[in-house]
């Protein structure tokens, strides 16, 4: 019996093939994860799964007979329970209908058992999905905010440039007006100067005439 046949065998009892496939996958995943972590999965009446460490050793190649060094390794091991052994040996008869009676394990004997481990695995998957969704949402929000900041910076720079240009233009206009006002004043002063000279000449002539008359 392979996995597909196992799913078909329990599909009627679980309400459909999909539910049966999910149940088998969850149970096997829970067992594998617990054994890899070094825990012992024990089901009373059925058996136990555990991780066994094998030290480094020497072995012989069956083809050449050469002695080969084998590195230290870890392997999974399954030990059948007494109820399972009795049914296989024939000392107990397998019931025709219904399920094989397996005694419930006492509390604490199921290390990483199916129900608890399946719930933990499901909770981890849900948490991972939520975390991934949060990351995607955060990335989208950051992507949306980034262009807005750039546009705002550009607008601020444009405003500053416009204000600076206006200020420079105003200063230049004021300078031109001041220059235009000062220029006529200089010309008027230049014209008045000859009038003073003519007045001085008349005064000198009058003084000379007075001297002559006195003499």
State how far the Cα of 157 lies from the Cα of 143, in Å rounded to an integer.
22
> What local confidence, expressed as pLDDT, does residue 4 receive?
93
pLDDT digit string, tens, across residues 70-84: 999 999 999 999 999
State how far the Cα of 20 lies from the Cα of 25, in Å rounded to an integer.
9
Which of the residue ranges 38-47, 58-67, 114-123 would you say has the lowest mean pLDDT?
A: 114-123
> What local confidence, expressed as pLDDT, does residue 169 receive?
74
Q: Is 137 helix (H, G, I), strand (E, B) or coil?
A: helix
Question: What pTM does this model have?
Answer: 0.45
Tokens of 58: 């020497």
> What local confidence, expressed as pLDDT, does residue 29 receive?
96
Between 107 and 12, residue with greater pLDDT = 12
Q: Are 45 and 86 in contact (CB under 8 A)?
A: no
State how far the Cα of 150 lies from the Cα of 145, in Å rounded to an integer.
9
> What local confidence, expressed as pLDDT, does residue 185 receive?
41
> What local confidence, expressed as pLDDT, does residue 201 receive?
64
Residue with tokens 């094989």: 100
Q: Are 83 and 103 in contact (CB under 8 A)?
A: yes
pLDDT digit string, tens, across residues 126-162: 566 677 777 777 777 766 665 544 444 455 555 666 6
pLDDT digit string, tens, across residues 176-197: 776 656 544 444 344 444 444 5
Question: What mean pLDDT, rounded, does the chain reach?
Answer: 74
Closest CA to 45 of 108, 100, 113: 100
> What local confidence, expressed as pLDDT, does residue 7 receive?
93
CATH topology of domain 3-89: HU Protein; Chain A (4.10.520)
């Amino acid at each position: 019996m392979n996995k597909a046949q196992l799913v078909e065998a329990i599909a009627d009892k679980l309400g459909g093939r999909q539910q049966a496939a999910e149940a088998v996958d969850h149970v096997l995943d829970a067992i594998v994860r617990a054994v890899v972590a070094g825990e012992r999965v024990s089901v009373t009446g059925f058996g136990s799964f555990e991780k066994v460490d094998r030290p480094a050793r020497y072995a012989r190649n069956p083809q050449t007979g050469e002695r080969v060094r084998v590195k230290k390794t870890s392997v999974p091991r399954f030990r059948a329970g007494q109820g399972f052994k009795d049914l296989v040996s024939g000392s107990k008869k397998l019931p025709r209908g219904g399920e094989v009676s397996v005694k419930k394990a006492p509390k604490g004997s199921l290390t990483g058992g199916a129900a608890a481990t399946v719930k933990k695995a499901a909770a981890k998957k849900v948490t991972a999905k939520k975390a991934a969704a949060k990351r995607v949402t955060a990335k989208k929000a950051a992507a949306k905010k980034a262009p807005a900041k750039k546009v705002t910076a550009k607008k601020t720079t444009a405003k500053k440039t416009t204000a600076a240009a206006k200020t420079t233009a105003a200063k230049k206009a004021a300078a031109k007006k001041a220059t235009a006002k000062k220029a006529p004043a200089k010309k008027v002063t230049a014209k008045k100067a000859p009038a003073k000279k003519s007045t001085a000449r008349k005064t000198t002539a009058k003084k000379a005439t007075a001297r002559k008359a006195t003499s």
